[in-house]
Amino acid sequence: MGFWMKQVVEGLLLIDKNEGETSYDVVKKIKSVLNKGNRVKVGHAGTLDPFASGLLIILLGQGTGLSPFVMSEKKVYLATMYLGVETDTLDPTGRVIRTSAVCDLKPDLIEEKARYFIGDIKQSPPMYSAVKYKGTRAYRLARKGIEVDLQMRTVTIDSLQIISVDLPEITMEVKCSSGTYIRSLGADFGRELGPGAHIKHLRRLACGSFDVENAINSNELLAEDALSVLLDRIINLRDAIPGMREIEVDSILADKVRHGYQPALKDLCEDSEGRGYENTYVKLIDNERLLAVAELNKDKLKGRGKIIIKKVFY
């Protein structure tokens, strides 16, 4: 036990959250395991609703600074719509607001309607969501019976595959952009089919290159050996954003960056114009460790010949 207390606990954990617990419940479990005699900062990237299960990415220590980069990744969900019943929360926890008969929908029709939702689409966030309206979380207003008009947003559905049809239930696998609400997608899809629907079951299968199959089930966080399991499964900062390109820097430049220096493109790239790295994020690597995340965006740089350091790690 004494040995690990000397370790710096930082990085990323993959947790398979169970139905019925909140994302913060999982955070509290992990804090309880890791904070025995030591303080470890713990957060998560991308909330899962209590009725949902699946991949929840936990951020530890300096890993909390990676939240915007992890959350921006594509997500994959397995979702089951229940046709003919609409609820105010768009899921099974809400109040039923409308019921309709479900006719014998043909598979070809379901597939045709599903194609309407592939690509860039507009959707409204659910009233029972963490979206803010004039500084207040929408779900807080909804619980008080206050109705507000939440601004529609554009999201991207890369694929929507119908897995099974057992009316009144339809199960689908959805790959989508960050910010997509599967509950809203289910409600819109249900109305397009006619009888309306809510999402009965929801499971997050993947986020970027991370898959729920490689996650620790949240029940394991209560086991006696939970501490050793967690420490063994922490993904280091460098590997926590695997899809991002890397640039190696020497120790002299690394020290300057840690003290606030904003390097020029010529410090990092053989091509002083940064060709090949336009409009992207890159990882700066010092001695095999993550030094910083930097942005190369020519529109923002305005010809200054510098990159923008977004986050430095020590």
Task: Give the catalytic positions in this structure.
Answer: 49
Do strands 289-296 and 245-248 pair parallel, antiparallel, or not at all (unpaired)?
A: unpaired
Q: In what order do the strands lie in the sheet with 289-296?
A: 245-248, 280-286, 289-296, 308-312
Of the candidates 272, 275, 280, which has an alpha carbon nearest to the alpha carbon of residue 296? 280
Coil/strand/helix, residue 157: strand
Rounded to 5°, the CA angle 250-210-31 comes to 85
Do strands 245-248 and 197-207 pair parallel, antiparallel, or not at all (unpaired)?
A: unpaired
- Angstrom CA distances, 254 to 108, 198, 202, 257, 297, stand at 58, 51, 43, 5, 21
Do strands 210-211 and 197-207 pair parallel, antiparallel, or not at all (unpaired)?
A: antiparallel
